[in-house]
Amino acid sequence: MEIKSAEFVISNTDVKKCPEGNKPEYAFIGRSNVGKSSLINMLTNKKGLAMTSQKPGKTQLINHFIINNEWYLVDLPGYGYAQQGKGGREKLRRIIEDYVLEREQLTNLFVLIDSRHEAQKIDLEFMEWLGENGVPFAIIFTKTDKISRSRLQENLKAYQEKLLESWEELPPILLSSSEKKEGRDEILDYIDNISKSL
């Protein structure tokens, strides 16, 4: 799939104010500092589309971008950012839960995971929650250029084994490096294939 146009549409904290209509939505979420904004900018080929920041926890809104006038790319707040304070974390949790559970247009959720780290409890719990609620999702391992190929394979294998402790089958797994523009075609093709099957 080729992205010809990517435009920012709206930011909000209330799922009820998200764009109307029935265009499919592909949402991206992950813990803070997982490289979500960089990935979105890489996918859309637009440098400043999603705001990147040195400070984690920057995205605190549901951000909609219209792609090729056909579907929405949705940038969700990160989960589990510790320095938010309890009230802030609770607010973000509500925004995320309301969107993920109530948004009928949500077609697929991409859960971003930093490929350099071993399985984190917070990510596993979040995916468990998605499974319990029947939310379709795929995993994107980010920052694959930051570790050696062999270490990457080890980490992926360990992660898959961890997931299989509670999952009968694994969700789709994609790899990406925003810096090297790796994984772009695979992710866009994955979205394209889902859209064609709708």
Complete domains list, the chain, with CATH = 6-197 (3.40.50.300)
What are 77's two structure tokens? Answer: 């707040």
pLDDT digits (tens, 9 = 90+) for 103-161: 999 999 999 999 999 899 999 999 999 999 999 999 999 999 999 999 999 999 999 99
Residue 78: predicted pLDDT: 86
Q: CA-CA-CA-CA torsion for 136, 108, 50, 70, nearest 10 degrees?
A: -170
Residues forming a β-bridge with 139: 111, 173
Q: How far apart are CA 132 and CA 163, in angstroms?
A: 14
Q: Say which residue, 58 or 67, is predicted with more confidence.
A: 67
Q: Scan for tokens 């509670």, then name that residue.
A: 166
Residue 84: predicted pLDDT: 60
Largest CA distance in the chain: 46
User: Is residue 103 a contact partner of residue 87, using CB atoms and an 8 Å limit?
Assistant: no
pLDDT digits (tens, 9 = 90+) for 146-160: 999 999 999 999 999
Residue 49: predicted pLDDT: 84
- CA 10 vs. chain centroid, Å, equals 18
Q: Report which secondary-structure segment, H or E, holds 194.
A: helix 184-197
User: Is residue 146 a contact partner of residue 116, using CB atoms and an 8 Å limit?
Assistant: yes
